[in-house]
Structures are given as structure tokens and as C-alpha cells.
Homo-oligomer: A and B are copies of this chain.
């Protein structure tokens, strides 16, 4: 690929009907685009909802006219919901965390190794514990936003000041505070959370203690988009690890932490590559 090309990701969702793929790829061919990867999915054969993700390259300089033309001649007539993302522009990611470091460090190490298709713009926490790691080692800004009892509205306001307009994604990397529906609406970008259980099992508090109590033989972790209802948003990624009767809560917490960090990192990476589309309360992951 000549480096004068731009790489774009085109995401489409709409009601399914014949001709969509042809209209889209016809426009792409006329525009001199080369399709690098294409995925599509219909919820029903010959109907339902249609989802599409295309990675394409365009001759340099043609981005604006390509986007404008696509909107006018394809998307509008066919009533497509769509977005276009320049693959050269990494998502700006803000991370909220409390005291546990496993998910935060996993994201920051991957980011440092160039394995996360993202710019980490800031870390904010309701505790001071992880400041040295974030500032001292990764040279990233760290904001301490305490959440005193009865002080959540003020804390959320302060967080919004930090986040609004500065990020494309908020990641809750074991942030042990419930965000209000008002906050979620105002922040205006997707929020991904990691819950330390195989949802919908063991939603809510102390999932490892719940798992120990129930005597399950596998424990898991779930990364999902945050919605107003706790631990109930669209699931992006899950995984599990085998445990036994010998594993007390400390061992479950330790083994679970390895799953949590892997699941959250994969989910963030999938999101940053624009590979996740929402379908009601579920996701399509290409």
C-alpha cells in the first residue's frame, strides 16, 4: 500500500433488504476504494437488522469528498445508520480506577507496547494509590477525584469536566463506584466496564464470594457497555478459568484478576478497532 493512502473503517447498521452490499461496494469501487476486510451480519435470513463493517483504503486527500458522497448517494437513500473512522486516528481513552491495579496496568502495558490501538489521555481515581504508577512510570496525567459519602454528584461533575470533549471512550478498570444515568448521558461517549463474574451470574457486589458460596467450578469476567441498569449492559467479551474447592476467596480473586485484565483489554481493543456494534442490549463483534 502506498503510504499516501488512508485506511478507513466504515460501519453500517440498518434494516436488512437486498441491494445494500451492492450499493455500498459499488460506491466504494467508483471512489477508488480498496476493500481490505469486510464483515456483515443479518439477524434474520432475508430480513431483520443488518450490520456491516468494512476496512478500506482510499487515495490520499479524498476522505472528505468520499464521506460526503457516501452520505448523499448511499446512506440517505437507503436509510443507513453509519459512521466512518480514520484508522490512523487512535481513540482517545480515559480510564477510571479505584485501588486495584490489575486492569489498569494491563491496559497501560499494552498501550506502552503499542498493542492497544488507542491514546490514553488520562487516569482518574477516587483514591491516590495508583498515582505513582501512572504519573511516575507511564508519564500520564492522574486525577484524584474522591467520592465522599453524599458527594457523588460533585464527584461526577468534576469527572465530567475532565472527560467532556477529551475522550472517545471511558473505561472503568475496576472503578468501584456506580455512575448515574445523568453522568452516562452527559459524558456522551461509550463507557466500558469490567465485572468480575461471568454475567449474568453473580451480578452486584462480591462476585468471588458469591462464586465460592455457590461452589462453581469456573469463574469468569465480563466486559460490557455501561447502561443505567447495573451490570446489565451489552456484553462485549467474556472468559472463564477453572477453579476447584481448594480455591478460597483469595485464590479466586487472584485467578479472577488474570481473567479480568485479559477480558477488559480485549474488549477495549475490539472497541478501539471499531469492531463492536450494538444490537439492542447485545453486541455484534466482527
Query: Which of A23, A244, A245, A279 lies at the interface centre, i.e. has the most chain B CB atoms within 10 A of its CB?
Result: A245
Residue A164, interface by CB 8 Å: no
Taken together as a complex, chains A and B put the C-alpha atoms of A141 and B240 apart, in Å, by: 36
Residues of B within 8 A of A137 (CB): 133, 136-137
Instruction: Give the oligomeric copy count.
Output: 4
Residues of B within 8 A of A37 (CB): 40-41
Residues of B within 8 A of A159 (CB): none
Known pairs A39-B39, A40-B38, A216-B238; A32 contacts B18 (CB<8 A): yes
Taken together as a complex, chains A and B put the C-alpha atoms of A244 and B277 apart, in Å, by: 13
Known pairs A41-B246, A217-B238; A34 contacts B57 (CB<8 A): no
Residues of B within 8 A of A216 (CB): 198-200, 235, 238
Q: Which residue of B lies closest to A56 (CB)?
A: B21
Taken together as a complex, chains A and B put the C-alpha atoms of A240 and B115 apart, in Å, by: 20
Residues of B within 8 A of A149 (CB): none
Interface CB pairs A-B, < 8 A, 16: A1-B45, A19-B34, A21-B25, A21-B29, A22-B28, A22-B30, A101-B113, A133-B137, A136-B136, A198-B201, A198-B218, A200-B214, A214-B235, A215-B234, A217-B236, A245-B279
